[in-house]
Every structure is written in structure tokens, then in C-alpha cells.
Structure 1
Amino acid sequence: MTNFDLYAPAPAAREGELEGDLASLRGDCARMVPHWPPARIVSRPVSPSLIHGVSVPPASARLLDAMSEYGD
């Protein structure tokens, strides 16, 4: 794996080219890593018996009722 200089400026784009190449994109991403939040922990599924007070609008219920089951 390449160790990028995190504070080096991105190379200037030449006329007629896009703003940079893959290496400059990877460098930009490496500089942004400290600004990204840590990965979230995925919650576990909740038992349906613990879910109370959920309401579904009638139009959504009709839409779901009209859909065929998976594999039909």
C-alpha cells in the first residue's frame, strides 16, 4: 500500500484534462479521512412484539397489498 503525503497539494490540471488522475483522487481521499465520522454500529433487529404504535397510511397499505409476493 502506498503511503501518501497527507499535506501535499494536488497536482494542477493540464489544459483539456480533468482536474486530476486516480493518484490525486486517492490523495484527496487520504486527506479527508480525519474529517469522516467513525463507522456506525449496526443495531440488531427488534422483535415485532416489541413494536407498538406503528401506523401505515391507507394508500401505502393498499400499495403493499397490491404487490405480488417475491418469486411470483
Structure 2
Amino acid sequence: MTKHFAPGEPRESDISLAQLRGDCARMAPHWVVPAADAPPPVSPSLIHGVVVPAASARLVDSMSEYGDWSVSGK
């Protein structure tokens, strides 16, 4: 299927990233999403049946605490 362009109409490949970002910024206010209520927390006693492979558990166990390097540069 071929798309025909009118004379002077930019082709998709002729649109710059800056133009695309500008178009998206102008459209963003039209895509307002209503705030959703946060689901209530689940009691730990209701969480069951989760299986974690041993290799994944070892990987997570060997990781440092979250965030200890991200801001402070440690």
C-alpha cells in the first residue's frame, strides 16, 4: 500500500526528532488520564504460591541495598 503525499507535505522520514517531540508535547494535554485509586495493601498472609528459582534468589541476595550507589555515587 502506497501513501501519496501532497506537494510540500513532509514525508515521515523528513520529520525531525525535534518536530516530533514538539508535536507530542502539543498533544499531551489531550491525553489526560484520571487518577486511579491506589489498591489497598495485601496482607502477607494472603501471598502464597510464589516460587523463585534458586539462581534468582542468589542473584538478589548478592545485590547491595537499593539506592546505595545511585545518588551518592558509591
TM-score (norm. length: structure 2): 0.43
**Larger RCO (CA under 8 A, 6+ residues apart):** 1
TM-score (norm. length: structure 1): 0.44
